[in-house]
Amino acid sequence: MDVMVGHEKIRALLLESIHPDAVSRLHAAGCVVESVSSALDEDELIERVRDVHLLGIRSKTQVTGRVLGAASQLLGIGAFCIGTDQIDLAAAAAGGVAVFNAPFSNTRSVVELALAEIIMLARRVVEKNDKMHDGEWDKAATGSHEVRGRTLGIVGYGNIGTQLSVLAEALGMRVYFYDTADKLALGNAKRCDTLDELLEVAETVTLHVDGRPGNSGFFGEEQFARMRPRSLFLNLSRGFVIDYAALRRHLVSGHIAGAAVDVFPQEPKGRGDEFRSELRGLPNVILTPHIGGSTEEAQADIGGFVANKLAQYVSEGNTTLSVNLPSVALPQQAGTHRLAHVHRNTPGVLAQVNSILAEHEVNIEGQLLSTRGEYGYMVTDVGATYSDVVLTRLREMEQTIRLRVLS
């Protein structure tokens, strides 16, 4: 069944080459979909988003308060990736815009890349490969090591960190981890109480932290200096969490024997644009263009998962796994109309809504309310007969942010 806003089809704008499975899923739901291969800057996005109901992005596009202020028709945003720090979640919630992401779909892809890079750095494959392409045969084993028996330090023990922990241990590595939250150690992994404690024991350090503002620049000169001599370093998390100039200094000095970096503070907008970094040209350094989760399998999973969440939200009002609105999923009964009500979380909203419905003799067939911080979300299934006055009264409530009639 087509998803509509009034008598108008839902319009979706998908940026940054989101997988065709997402386009197919939204098409199947009756949406009109426009797909763009690159990211858009703030001014470009403001121009393109004015009449859009659903917006799909990956990691480069920034959905700011200005963008959301211009997007008067916007109902939902899909982050076709793990992180959502590129979206002003508070402003989205304040406008009644639901945000969904894919917290698990590309975990395996990131973990496999991290493992591959750990092995390649330990074996100095990058340097050997460069020499071979230059025609030099260098078969020496000097500086090349097995990963079996070596110590891996994982900073950030979430979905990626924990899976990496298990697979690294299966390769014979000793695993230590540090996380600000209280996390259960898997297998034989050992928890470190401080980051310094981890840096003292780890021969390879890999970062898998989230994009919260407090993580900006947290790994810099002091932390690199504390790492063990001739250790390895990986960052597949966020570009702004490390000091790249400090990393370069420690690579050039030889204190750090090799590094792999997938994310950067400033990244090119589109494929083929020039990439600039102080890490270019250094030996035993693997630089990849933010492809940790970019496998065909992961992108297909993400495309279908997030697009399905968006389609369910606009057609059913389902907010399960939304990152900024309360979670509500109410099975709908045949022969009913569904009212989806995003509101400010103040006492008495439920009573006020039901009072309006009762006053106009509208029977409630099903209802579910959930709150999250400042906001509440209520889904109410009512009998097939009601007047426009009911909708007007609900929209005029002081607490109402957005009211939608879904069927």
Which residues are catalytic, by number? Answer: 238, 267, 290
Cβ atoms < 10 Å from Cβ of 178: 23
Contacts with 358 (C-beta within 8 Å, 6 or more apart), sequence order: none
Report which residue type is found at 123.
R
Query: What residues are paired with 372 via a beta bridge?
Result: 375
Is beta strand 32-35 parallel, antiparallel or unpaired with respect to 174-178? unpaired
Q: Rounded to an integer, what distance in angstroms lies between the CA atom of residue 354 and that of residue 363?
A: 9
Instruction: Count Cβ neighbours within 10 Å for each residue of 370-398 and write b for 16 or more, e otherwise.
Output: beeeebbbbbbbbeeebeeebeebbeebe
Q: Give the torsion sign (CA, 158, 163, 167, 169).
A: positive
Hey, what are 82's tokens? 């793990």
Buried b (16+ CB within 10 A) or exposed e, 94-104: bbbbbbbbbbe
